[in-house]
Amino acid sequence: MAIRKQKSLSKKDNGANGQSAKIEVMDCQNNGEKCKEHLAVINENYLESYQYLEGKNFRESIASLKNAFEKTHELQDTTCLKCAQLFRDTITESLEDIRDELQKMSTGIFKTKRYQSSYDEACDVLEELKKGK
């Protein structure tokens, strides 16, 4: 079992500027059949998050990642548990990156209060998701 986080530059993926972010199942004993629908929704939310992030709409980006994270909990089959955990780890890592970016923008010499509420929300969502793991 392995996954890969992939970025492609295909215009047909409907990503902003043709960019798409995907989580792919690389080596699965079920050939990805049991999680196909879930993975499609997770990837859709993941892509939405990147699109919102490009537009500096951090709240919506965080919400999309939270939705993707919650969808991983629907993967209950014993053979899917490791993949589901890897999906959650990947999503959590993306949320941490957003939080870190927001922290940089809301502290220091060039800080702006504009992003403080988004930073607080990112921290709250991360804490909530880590408790729910």
Q: Which pTM does this prediction carry?
A: 0.79
Query: pLDDT digits over 85-113, tens only?
Result: 989 999 999 999 999 999 998 887 777 78
Query: pLDDT digits over 29-88, tens only?
Result: 777 777 788 888 999 999 999 999 999 999 999 999 999 999 999 988 888 888 889 899
What is the DSSP secondary-structure string of 3-33? Answer: EEEEEE--GGG--GGG-EEEEEE-S-TTTTT
